[in-house]
Structure 1
Amino acid sequence: MQNCSPLAWKAWGWPASARQRHIEGLRAIAVIAVVGYHVGLPGFAGGFVGVDVFFVISGYVICGHITSLKDRGELDIFNFWLRRIARLAPAGIFVVAVVGAVGLATLPQDRALQLAAAILPAAGFTANLHFIAVASDYHSAMAALNPLLHMWSLGVEAQFYVIWPLAALLMAPRFRVAGVVLIGLTSLAVSAAVTPTHPTLAYYGLPSRLWEMAAGAALVLSGRRAPAWAAAVGIAAIILAVMWFDAATPFPGYAAVLPVLGALLAIAAPSPMLGGAGLVWIGARSYSWYLWHWPLIVFGEMIQSGLYVRLAASGIALAFAAITWASIEEPARKWGRRWAAI
């Protein structure tokens, strides 16, 4: 068996607390990149790559859990899905409901209709499919008017959670690494081929994003550890992508290799640099901050446009995230642990 227990770092000499802090710190970097991009901060033109970092983390964490359970004969797919629903749905549906109610009451009719069409897909974690269907370019001015646009990435993650445990059941232990690498390379080839010709489909679609999760999965299956300095190199690669890329960069395609490789190095290198208290605090609340930041930026822009308005909106969103994390996310997580296997 390949070492991918929760989460292979025990074999690396990492206690669970240090491992968790490391991951939360990387989540913080990812969400700061995304928020900085949406706020329009100088130097964050490519901050959308934070989503790719999230995808790598998801592949790493989820593969580690699923494969460990399968090897112990304890994998119950329905319990796994229940746990994922308990983790994502309560906060996600709550924010969608609030945003939908506020938006339908305040937005102009044409924008309210666009929002209304996105509410059910967003609540059902299929927003990426909705935006593919309406041919909504993520970077376009029209798409930026929809306060639920950011829910697309949660749709990709949810669809990954559906298919990955099924794939795990089909993979024999000795073929796991080869199978995951094959899936990843196939998806990367699809991404590279589709990005220039159908950029909206490539951006929102799971087939062109699956390789990013598969990269994280391959890392945990390999059980490989990188030297401590690799964490700095990985973070530098993510920062380079954030500063170098912009809305004109064909993405994902091969351009996404840079932030994905950076995320892999940052995960594989047992370095305390990501374990600072501030980063860990933000990382733990990164899901709720991600949920709140974009709608509040869009609503803030309705009142007055400008960088300081967007900054204020993102700060209010972080305060909302702290409340949502404490009152919805954590209770839902505890409930999920009572009912699910992982």
Structure 2
Amino acid sequence: LSVVGSSMVASASDELDKSVGADFIIEPDNGVIKPQVEQAVKRAKHLEHVSDYKLLENATITTPDGKKVKDDLDAASASYAKDLRSPVIEGTLVDAFGKNAIGVPEGFAKDHKVALGDVLSVDFKEGGTAKLTVRVITSEDTAFNKGAIYLGVDTAKDYIKPDQMPQNLMMFAAAKEGQDREAYKSLKAELTTYPDVTVRDQADYKKLLEDQIGQMLNLVYGLLGLAIIVAILGVVNTLALSVVERTREIGLMRAIGLSRRQMRRMIRLESVVIALFGALLGLGLGMAWGVTAQKLLALEGLKTLEIPWPTIGAVFVGAAVVGLLAALVPAFRAGRMNVLNA
């Protein structure tokens, strides 16, 4: 799971660097961005542009072959094409946000035989029907907005009444050249009175991804801690039984000159060998499983494999420590054994 977690973080960071052009991402903690928050964002200084991003749910799309498909639409400002560098198969992404235009993913295009220049009829759940021309077919080889259907906010406003228009789900902003720090401070200042809205730059967003995956791993590590307690008891029982079964052997070795200290050391080393053998077996199987899981995640766009060597090293060293701790009682009993009785 550490392999999977590290690979997810590394892949998401790489994808963020490659795909996200926006300097700042503005998100509400819950729900949508209120109009007053939207105005506050647009008042911030040192910004080159601000992009709206709305979700139009359950729109009905009539394809050229007459089929009706229900799907969600991503309505955004034209500048969103700079904020998210989505790979395309045909056309140009910015064209999807033009007047009466729409962009569809390659999977949708293949399933419904949609080509560049085709006209789709879109019935919005909020009311209004639009005839939109396909201006771009986007690639699904991405982890962000995979399979999204795009259109411009201005196009949506032509067919949806203002009181029916959904609020922004999130917003994006880009700073003017060389003014990133000033723009970040200005955005923070404007949104001080709205604690339920968070402004993040790309570094913050990467940290958020790491924290989310870290929380999942911490839960797993907690369960692992319980498993380690059971493992320690297992090693203690194994060694204790070994000491009892080898009573005569221990007595004989003590009789020919093995000291109590050397006897305790021998038991401890046996315990460490047991623990390290288990650790090697577990790490080998775990890394194989982690690499396999990462290959599956690669199908969703998370293509970077990262092996957490520090964690693996810590686990191996920790296993040796666990082995030493598990040997304390059996080693003490073997050292205290009466030589003649044994």
Q: TM-score, normalised by structure 2?
A: 0.22
- Greater relative CO, 1 or 2 (CA 8 Å, sep 6+): 1
* The structure with more helix, counted as a fraction of residues: 1
For the pair shown, the structure with the greater C-alpha radius of gyration is: 2
* The structure with more strand, counted as a fraction of residues: 2
